[in-house]
Chains A and B, each alone.
Chain A
Amino acid sequence: MSTATPKPRAKWAAVGHSVPKLDAYTKVTGAAVYVDDIPAAGMLHGRTVRSTIARGRICSVTLDPAFDWSAVTVVDWRDIPGENVVALIESDQPLLAHDDVRHQDEAIVLLAHEDPEYLLEAMKHVRIEYEPLEPVLTIEDSLARKDVLYGSDNVFKTIHIERGNTAAGLASADVVVEATYRFGHQEHLYIENNGMIAVRTRDGGLHVRGSLQCPHYVHKALCRAFALPGDKVRVAQTVTGGGFGGKEEYPSMIAGHAALLAWKSGRPVRLMYDRLEDIAATTKRHPGVIHIRAGVQRDGTLVALESDIVLDGGAYATLSAVVLSRGAIHAGGPYRWPHARIHARVVATNTPPNGAFRGFGAPQTQFALECHIDRLAAELGMDPVDLRRRNALIIGDITPTGQTLHESVSAHEVLERTLEASRFHARRKEFTKANAKAEAAERAGRSSPGGRRLRRGIGCALVYHGAGFTGSGEVRLASKAAMELTEDGWPRILAGTTEIGQGTITVFAQVAAEALGLAPARVQVAEPDTARVPDSGPTVASRTLMIVGALVGECARDMRAALEGLTGKPVANEAAFRRAAKRWLQERGPLRVEAKYRKPEFIQWNEDTYQGDAYGVFSYAALVTEVEVDLDTAETRVLDVTTAQDIGKAIHPVLAAGQIEGGVLQGLGWALLEEVRWKDGRVWNAQLTNYIIPTSADAPPIHTILVENPTSLGPFGAKGVGEMPMDVPAPAVVAAIAHATGVRMTEIPVTPERLRSALRADGNTRTGR
């Protein structure tokens, strides 16, 4: 295993060095306190009674009179002091279902009791009677308006992006290729299940702690549901065991439930999901269907792209419109398309709402696009790498939204570096030869040792990913970060941005330390607690470092300037900082500086036409993977992965590479293993025994190359890193399988069942040849 990391520039003392992750000590000793580790003494346990049908009306909710309810707190929608909504973009999702049920496992009644065993028993004695309605469970049925669940046509949101004249472009192209791609749900499967603790405070407010990504989202939702002013609601994050988007919006629901039980009982309440409940009820990655028609000239110049995208949003709007937006904007991939028409819709079904998941629509659309690029290459008889080289974006190119790329464009560099490190072309030749030899031997009746018919393949993919909120999103967020001096004269960062394992605390401390002349470990990072930290916007969209990190850097520079203004001497090392800080505290009292996001001048975005600068800058990644396919079992094993990713500047190379490797493996899981199976709108494999994620034995060695092509927009040139690694593996795997077997899959995950039927259709089975 190797990680090629750029040498730290000598001029930076903190940035670019892989200092020990600041929260690692407590994590390796077991001292870190996750929500479930908070002592339960004095608390009630909470549980959620959920719908058992996908769609219908609730006729009655009855508590079995034979059961002793005297010590059980029971909450339904009538107990909600404010509005019965989980406030997000739209206000369509209730905190507790009232008369309508729109999906399986929708929350209807909440129970709390001191004894978790008694509580489980109590759940069985809540009787809910329904008048069931025929559910709409698939995208096809939703589009066909089998029944209307939302608006007049079941479409939550439509996005249309148009550049040039696509019809004319397709007509003029030498070759036009058309295909339909499909992808399923994906469960986040953070290893820490969701959990919240809620307390009704003495002053009539709420204090909620738990596993979450976005404390200010939860805060906003609680204020609405409880009709409380902002200062009466306090939300804090506990150490969080993974999020990946899965703890972006759904925790608002769980916090609301825990808070309702605490409100009614007057006791602190802990509401911990078990794995079954977490998989069955919470959000997933949006599944969908993408139909692409693309035209190319004989010489490999891409001419026109027509992409029709439909995502399944599930029963409520949640963040679907934004996921769709990011997906649509990335639908052309990192290529020049003189003509492009991208039409994207997200529709309602009676399945649990889908939501934020690492990549946020971009993995879906770039999976389809990259598969299609390979298809175009095959049709042209061209090396798929050459087709990419010919069309990959360079500075000055224009994206489908009309954005001219001004800086930090690395599509070519990441591609070439990945190809070189993986020895792509040499390996491709070797595999082609070995596969032909194996096939010839099998035909001649000489089977390989063990009788297995194995084939190897290698595939490549190229993607890009915009960092930060789309278009004017960052302007609307108007994020803030602050920094203060502690009483002992150390700097403390105040930001609403959360550590969810990705390293926020450490990289923020590094960015601040650099400006203050301190060691990163000297910089404190306050626990995200809405009572203490400003709203830095959500911890999503690969925006933490590039947007909020930049604000942290600005605060540090301001603090340094303030201190230097006081002493008249440079603050360049720890001793100088300490002297100045102590003097400030003595002479002037507390010191707090704040920075607020300001839009760079050049970013222009038109929300109505979907034209303009969708993102300030993009990150770029290429990935090559080698696979081995067993033609008889149709199992695919990933043997090796090499990926070069341009993230502008690796503030912390080890953490950056760790983000990439983790995202890559999630992408491989999505491509090959992870499939949510449904029965009547309900997840039937809501367990780790049957929803399979990659283990260390499934995971290939991952060789990461960090490319640093800095942007003027992020701190020290850093761009986003969190999501892009998820975009790139799936199409590379599909390409590698195609190389190994000759079968080009259009649907992921490529499970053995799916591949077997494709191989059979191709005649590529033992009996078939």
Chain B
Amino acid sequence: MSGPVTLKLRVNGRAMTLSAPPMKRLLDVLREEAHLTGAKEGCGEGECGACSVLLDGIPVNSCLVPFGQCEGARITTVEGLASGRRLSALQQAFVEMGGSQCGICTPGMLIAATALLDRKPGRVPSEDEVRTALAGNLCRCTGYQRIVDAVRAAAKPRPSGSKPGRGR
């Protein structure tokens, strides 16, 4: 690998300057240099989505992204979804509706689902739309049903302060 490069990025809203070899995977840079271990490695070849992060708002498999391409990039990892202790509606729905079991896929799922909901705020995607949007994120525990339900529940507009997705 060639020598390290130093790049400026915005990670979870914070400006960061990180140094690593340009071919080092973004996943490893985030985990090792930025100490954000939320994104996981499940396969290292772009199949499982456990390493998903938002790169300029688009979900990508960070195991396939070379660090060298990330100059000036805006990156969101699962650690950036909550505001302080306050969970996002999606995170809250995952907690309440059983969207997370062993949890290893959860960071990637949340990222992919956040991207879906951000595309059309305020609209509840159909079950099929959710399933298609999450098809790059493997989960071996849940059978996906509760994940799909949680994503749809989180998309429902609701009066502020109320909890998502109790009724069915």
**Chain A residues packing against B (C-beta within 8 Å):** 1-3, 18, 20-21, 23-34, 36-37, 39-40, 117, 188-193, 239-244, 274-275, 500-503, 654-655, 657-658, 660-666, 687-689, 693, 695-697, 699, 701-702, 704
12 more CB-based (< 8 A) A-B contacts, given A1-B149, A695-B134: A1-B127, A188-B140, A190-B140, A191-B139, A193-B41, A241-B103, A241-B104, A658-B143, A658-B146, A661-B144, A688-B43, A696-B147
A701 to B127, CA, bound (A): 9
Assess A191 versus B140: contact at CB under 8 Å? Given A24-B95, A657-B98, A658-B98.
yes
Whether B135 contacts A696 by the Cβ 8 Å rule is yes
Given A696-B130, A701-B127, A701-B145 in contact, is the A687-B137 Cβ separation under 8 Å? no
Which of A3, A240, A666, A701 interacts with B102 by CB under 8 Å?
A: A240
State which of B45, B48, B101 has its C-beta within 8 Å of the C-beta of A658: B101
B45 and A699 contact, CB distance less than 8 A: no
C-alpha gap A240/B103 in the complex (Å): 8
In terms of DSSP, what is the predominant structure of the interface of chain A?
loop
Contact B95 A21 (CB under 8 A): yes
Chain A residue contacts of B141, Cβ below 8 A: 242, 501-502, 658, 662
Contacts of A117 in B (CB 8 A): 1
Q: Is B5 an interface residue (CB 8 A)?
A: no
Question: What residues of A have a CB within 8 angstroms of the CB of B145 in the complex?
Answer: 1, 661, 699, 701-702, 704
Check: B62 CB closer than 8 A to any chain A CB: no
Q: How far apart are the CA atoms of A664 and B145 in the complex, in Å?
A: 11
Interface assignment of B67: CB less than 8 Å from any CB of chain A: no
In the bound complex, residues from chain B placing their C-beta under 8 Å from that of A699 are 131, 143-145
B residues 29-64 with Cβ under 8 Å of A? 31-32, 35-45, 47-48, 50
B90 to chain A, nearest CB (A): 8
- Asked if B37 and A696 sit within 8 Å, CB to CB, the answer is no
Q: Which residues from B are CB-within-8-Å of A192?
A: 40, 42, 102, 104
Query: With a CB–CB cut-off of 8 A, which chain B residues contact A39?
Result: 35
Chain A, Cβ-Cβ closest to B147: A696
- Which B residues are in CB contact (< 8 Å) with A191? 40, 42, 48, 50, 102, 104-105, 138-140
Taking a contact as CB atoms under 8 Å apart, the answer to whether B146 and A661 are in contact is yes
Interface: B6 (CB within 8 A): no
Give the docked Cα–Cα distance between A701 and B126 (Å).
Answer: 12
Tell me the B95-144 residues at the A interface (CB within 8 Å). Answer: 95-107, 110, 127, 130-132, 134-144
Query: Could you tell me the distance in whole angstroms from the C-beta of A602 to the nearest C-beta in chain B?
Result: 35
Which of A31, A32, A189, A658 sits near B142, CB closer than 8 Å? A658
Instruction: Pick the contact of B103: A2, A23, A660, A697 (CB < 8 A).
Output: A23
Measured between beta carbons, the chain B residues less than 8 angstroms from A663 are 143
Judge whether B81 is part of the interface by a CB distance below 8 angstroms.
yes
Name A696's contact: one of B32, B36, B100, B134 (CB within 8 Å).
B134
Cβ of A24 and Cβ of B135 under 8 Å apart? no
CA distance A340 to B34 in the complex (A): 63
Closest to B146 in A: A658
* Cross-chain contact of B140 among A27, A660, A662 (Cβ < 8 A): A662
User: Which residues on B sit within 8 Å (CB–CB) of A40?
Assistant: 32
A540 to chain B, nearest CB (A): 16
CB-CB under 8 A for A29 and B91, given A239-B103, A654-B97: yes
Contact in complex: B100, A28 (CB < 8 Å)? yes
The contact of A1 among B77, B134, B148, by CB within 8 Å, is B148
Shortest CB distance A242–B (Å): 4
Query: Could you list 18 A-B pairs, sorted by A, with CB under 8 Å?
Result: A29-B78, A29-B87, A30-B78, A117-B1, A188-B140, A192-B42, A192-B102, A242-B140, A658-B101, A661-B146, A662-B141, A665-B142, A687-B43, A688-B47, A696-B144, A699-B131, A699-B143, A699-B145
Instruction: Give CA–CA (A395, B152) in the complex, Å.
Output: 43
Contact B101–A662 (Cβ < 8 Å): yes
* Interface hub of A2, A31, A689, A699 (most chain B Cβ within 10 A): A699
Q: Is the CB of A696 within 8 A of B98?
A: no
| Separation of A724 and B105 alpha carbons in the complex (Å) | 23
- Closest 8 pairs (CB-CB, A-B): A30-B38, A501-B102, A241-B104, A27-B103, A661-B143, A688-B47, A501-B101, A665-B143
Cα A37 to Cα B36 in complex, Å, equals 9
A28 with B42: in contact, given A661-B146, A699-B143, A702-B143 (CB under 8 Å)? no
In the bound complex, residues from chain A placing their C-beta under 8 Å from that of B35 are 39
The closest CB in chain B to the CB of A37 belongs to B37
A704 to B168 alpha-carbon distance, docked (Å):
13
| Residues of chain A within 8 A of B107, CB atoms compared | 30
Does the CB pair B100–A503 fall under 8 Å? no
Q: How far is the CB of B66 from chain A (nearest CB, A)?
A: 16
A1-B148, A658-B142, A696-B131 given as contacts; is B37 within 8 A of A30 (CB)?
Answer: yes
With both beta carbons as reference points, the residue of chain B lying nearest to A692 in the complex is identified as B47
Find the A residue at minimum CB distance from B134.
A696
Report B1-34 residues with CB < 8 Å from chain A CB.
1, 31-32
> A509 to chain B: closest CB distance in Å?
15
Cβ of B79 under 8 Å from chain A: yes
Nearest residue, chain A, Cβ from B35: A39
Minimal beta-carbon separation of B86 from chain A (angstroms):
11
Which B residues touch A500, using CB under 8 A?
102
Establish whether residues B101 and A193, one from each chain, have CB atoms under 8 Å apart when the complex forms: no
In the bound complex, residues from chain B placing their C-beta under 8 Å from that of A664 are 143
Residue of A18, A689, A693, A701 touching B45 (CB-CB under 8 A) = A689
Residues of A within 8 A of B41 (CB): 36, 193
Of chain B, the residue at the smallest CB distance from A664 is B143
The smallest beta-carbon distance between B85 and chain A, in angstroms, is 9
* Residue of B whose beta carbon sits closest to that of A32: B103
Which residues on the A side are within 8 Å of B138 (C-beta)? 191, 688, 693, 695
Q: Are B104 and A688 in contact (CB under 8 A)?
A: no
For B131, the closest partner residue in chain A by CB is: A696
Q: How far is the CA of A704 from the CA of B143 in the complex (A)?
A: 12
Check B91 against A28 for contact (C-beta < 8 Å).
Answer: yes
Set of chain B residues within 8 Å of A37, measured between Cβ atoms: 31, 37
Nearest Cβ on chain B to A174's Cβ, whole angstroms: 41
Give CA–CA (A664, B141) in the complex, Å: 10
Find the B residue at minimum CB distance from A192: B104
